[in-house]
Structure 1
Amino acid sequence: MKPSRRHRYEPVRWALLGIAVVVLVVFLLAQRQSTLDVSYGRSPSSAPAIEEGSAGELSDATVPSADEMTALVAASPVVRLPGATAHWNEQRVRQAVGESPVRILVAPPGLDKDERDRVRDVENATIRVLGTEVSGGLYQVSADTLPGWRAQFATGDVTDLLVTLIAALRKDPSPTDQDDLRWREPTDREVAAVAADLRATGLHVGAGATLTKVSDNVAKNAFPDGAYYVALPVQPFGEPVPRYGPALTRLFPDTPIVVMYGLWIEHHGPGASDFAELAGASFYNQFADRLSRYDYPQGRVLATYLNRVTDIRYAGLFERPLPYRPVDPLRVALPALPWVFGGCVATFLILSLRSLRRPGGGLGIRRGDPGRGGTPARLAGLTALAVEMSLLTDTRSNAALTRGIVTLQAARTALDEKLPDPHVRTLLDEAAGELDAGARTLGIASYRPDLYLRGRLS
């Protein structure tokens, strides 16, 4: 017996409908939005949120009660609490103060929230300095240039911050910042001691520095060809600072040199001019506020800086190579999924119309099977309804439509396998119920199965 044309198309038709359903589900699941959690201490692309105290930023320093500090401030115009690290040019600050009744309370860095709140509760203090964070009245001032950050974090100098805040409190014009940090060439003996450590281990840690090691993974991501690291403590305020970067670059011209003065980081070496300026400005613009009031260890700060260098390199700037990123098949295929869905639905609809319009058979009634003529017709009608609804479905009605299509497929299989007619009708009733729910969700009365099938058969 030669199979009819209709039976030859049946597997293809239902396979296309199944593909369309799968494509629709994949496409809807891919329409998600996510947020990126950026936190201090690691690369922003992977770091979890860090709670206060978990990054080693809190020190052992404490402060007296608010009443005790209030009494100290009342007795002296400048009160330095034990552990305070901020310094300033007294002559410039006195000139800015003039005859104004300014009282300054200087607290150590690394205080926890309760201790910081006690410092801020000292109402007779005109200016409060927490670490190197300067605030007073309704104002908080911060550096916004590389020289300003360098003075603040390399030597603890808050002169420009104090002068700017005093001018704001007196409602005077903002003064021009002055770079008071002075450099000196390191001696041959100093350079030789540092260079010997760099040749041996790639790391020199000066007396008083807190850096113990550099993470290999973080360092390799930032500088794949290797780099040398020099860690020095915060430099004495008012004294010339040895400038190791250029001196070491002359000894190691092909190797990046990273030098830390306290919490200030410099990058020297090949290709470091514009790159180092961008990395420094980006890093301190984001983290200077936290670095000013906490007591972070140098290792944590250096790891965060190196992650920022990695992020800039991964951005493809300064002709640096991009890292390898494996191809994501879903992202590549995602733009084509709507077209695949549309093509499958259109082909399914065309094949369904050919099946319904075959000559001599009537609407969905197969020859030689008069007893079951109504069931195939209803199956065909509900299938056509599902196809039309799929073009208008949304997230609210998609679930009902999908369940209806799956039930229709089960009914088609039962019909082809000549299962009992009541079983097929039960499946069609379930499919009709799901399609009716989808039509009511869409708000299209003509898509309710009873009305739709009545219109087709009429």
Structure 2
Amino acid sequence: MGRWTGWVRWGALGAAVVVLVVFLVAQRQSIDVSYGRSPSSSGTVEEGSAGELSDATVPSVDEMTAMVAADPVVRLPGSIAHWDEGLVRNAIGDADVRILVAPPGLDKDERGRVRDVDNAQLRVLGTEVTGSIYQAAADDLPSWRAQFATGDVTSLLVTLIAGIRDQDTPEDVDLFRWRPPTEAETAAIATDLRATGVHIADGATLTDIPKSAGPAFPDGGALYAAFPQQTFGEPVPEYGPTLAALFPGKPIVVIYGSWIEYHGPNAADFTDVVGASFYGQAADRISTYDYPQANVLHAYLNRVTDVRYAGLFERPLPYLPLDPLRVALPALPWLFAGCVVVFLALSARSLLGPRRGVRSTGPPARLAGLTALAIEMSGLTDEKSDPALTRGITKLRAAGDALEQNLPDGHVGKLLDDAEAELDDTAWTLGRNDYRPFTYLRGRLA
């Protein structure tokens, strides 16, 4: 067996192992319902690193306890939550339910002090409503819109009061109302949108459009209008449909406080899917913290990107670069099988050895035939086949010496077998099947 054959044999085995490992590593048990890997950025961040903490502070626990004891409703400076006092009073009835309202954006220690005020049955942190072991949370788009656009927590308070009093859960209270914007309001916004694509009203905290707008609307042209939290109890100007009519075919993003709406292409379905999935996940944090509008918009646009990459609503799918592994994966099992076949074939050749010459002849006849074969091949060999031929000739000389010394036939036969294997490897390297010992000796000794 020549060295080059050994290299091919073990190389084939090594390649088979590598292919098998690559194939198995690629077989991840996962579910992917996306047409592509969304580039939206997401992940947890350390508290305070995203601008969600405000400058507001709260008094000590003893001070707040005294304030709540003196007044059934205590509103700390910076609070943004509002409710219909008549509806909440009727829900409370003759019970002694006291409410402590704190601003959003408090850090962990300040939130802890608010929750340590034991004589407050209801606590409102930003627009998060908790009490006793309960927490009331919105679960649909109208409720989130009222909560984040106007700070309305009426429905949350009424629901939580019913829970504290062991009463049936009441129907949601929707006090939010739209109104058509005036021509003057619309004209001022449209002027900014035509000039820069962005309108930022007085009181809005949006300063710039985040980079996530690029993947969300890759065709560009999206228009943005940002407004502060709207006044509770008053109708809110509905800018979205009006702007969509003024800028047909353009994506329109309107922000009221922490509430974001989309208008434009595919708005009927797209708005509900994005809004429900975004606020269903982010509402808890938005209600408690004081995120700038740019941060909320950034997260919302990431969700738009996620939905777009899901291939919904016949939106154009994003370009996916070629993945060589995914393209080659179907061929890996066949490549593995081929490498195994090569290894087994060469292993069988190594184990069985070359087909022996005509064994009915004695050692002298085999020695003569193999010597003649070696002489004929000596004029054809090159640097690749010379080593095997040289080893074969050496074995033939040793076999001749053994015959002259009348050594046992078994010893001579072993030397001749070794010589025949080396000459067979030489013929294999030369690509001359007619010089393989089995073929050559059969023709010579027949």
Normalised to the residue count of structure 2, the TM-score between the two structures is 0.75
**Shift of residue 339 of structure 1?**
3.6
| 2:12 pairs with 1:16 | yes
CA contact (8 A) 2:40 2:303 kept: no
Superposed, 1:25-64 pairs within 5 Å as 25-27=21-23, 30=26, 45-64=40-59
Superposed, 1:162-177 pairs within 5 Å as 162-177=157-172
Q: C-alpha distance in 2, partners of 1:209/1:7?
A: 79
Q: Which amino acid aligns with 1:354?
A: R
| 2:260 pairs with 1:249 | no
Structure 1 match to 2:410: none
Q: C-alpha distance in 1, partners of 2:232/2:39?
A: 33
Q: C-alpha distance in 2, partners of 1:7/1:170?
A: 89
Match of 1:67, SS state, is helix
Q: Structure 1 pair 25/369, CA: closer, same or farther in 2 (3 Å)?
A: farther
Match of 1:231, SS state, is strand
Match of 2:124, SS state, is strand
Q: Which amino acid aligns with 1:333?
A: A
The partner residue of 1:288 within 251, 271, 283 is 283
Measured against aligned partners, the alpha-carbon deviations of 1:352-401 in whole angstroms (never above 9, x if no partner) come to: 11232223399xxx966599xxxxx9xxxxxxxxxxxxxxxxxxxxxxxx
Match of 1:199, SS state, is helix
Match of 1:143, SS state, is coil
Match of 1:79, SS state, is strand
Runs of at least 5 residues in structure 1 that lack an aligned partner in the other structure: 37-42, 372-376, 378-415, 417-458
The partner residue of 1:227 within 219, 222, 225 is 222
Q: Which amino acid aligns with 1:223?
A: F
Q: Which amino acid aligns with 1:219?
A: A
Structure 1 match to 2:438: none
**Shift of residue 115 of structure 1?**
0.2
Q: Which amino acid aligns with 2:300?
A: Y
Q: Which amino acid aligns with 2:196?
A: T
Q: Which amino acid aligns with 2:216?
A: A
Structure 2 match to 1:186: 181
Q: Structure 1 pair 35/49, CA: closer, same or farther in 2 (3 Å)?
A: farther
Q: Paired residues, what number?
A: 359
**Shift of residue 44 of structure 1?**
7.8
Structure 2 match to 1:267: 262
The partner residue of 1:143 within 138, 153, 163 is 138
Normalised to the residue count of structure 1, the TM-score between the two structures is 0.73
The partner residue of 1:118 within 113, 117, 126 is 113
Q: C-alpha distance in 1, partners of 2:40/2:304?
A: 13
Q: Which amino acid aligns with 1:26?
A: V
**Shift of residue 10 of structure 1?**
4.9
The partner residue of 1:298 within 290, 293, 296 is 293
**Shift of residue 46 of structure 1?**
3.3
**Shift of residue 81 of structure 1?**
0.6
**Shift of residue 121 of structure 1?**
0.4
CA contact (8 A) 2:54 2:106 kept: yes
Match of 2:118, SS state, is coil
Match of 1:61, SS state, is coil
Match of 1:204, SS state, is strand
Q: Which amino acid aligns with 1:124?
A: N
Task: Out of 347-356 and 20-29, give the one that drifted further.
Answer: 20-29
**Shift of residue 31 of structure 1?**
6.2
Question: Percent identical across equivalent pairs?
Answer: 67
**Shift of residue 11 of structure 1?**
5.3
**Shift of residue 328 of structure 1?**
1.4
Q: C-alpha distance in 2, partners of 1:125/1:7?
A: 87
Structure 2 match to 1:130: 125
Measured against aligned partners, the alpha-carbon deviations of 1:59-90 in whole angstroms (never above 9, x if no partner) come to: 00000011111111111110001111100001
Looking at CA atoms only, which structure, 1 or 2, has the larger radius of gyration? Answer: 2
**Shift of residue 253 of structure 1?**
1.6
**Shift of residue 47 of structure 1?**
3.4
**Shift of residue 27 of structure 1?**
3.9
Structure 1 match to 2:153: 158
Q: Which amino acid aligns with 1:233?
A: P
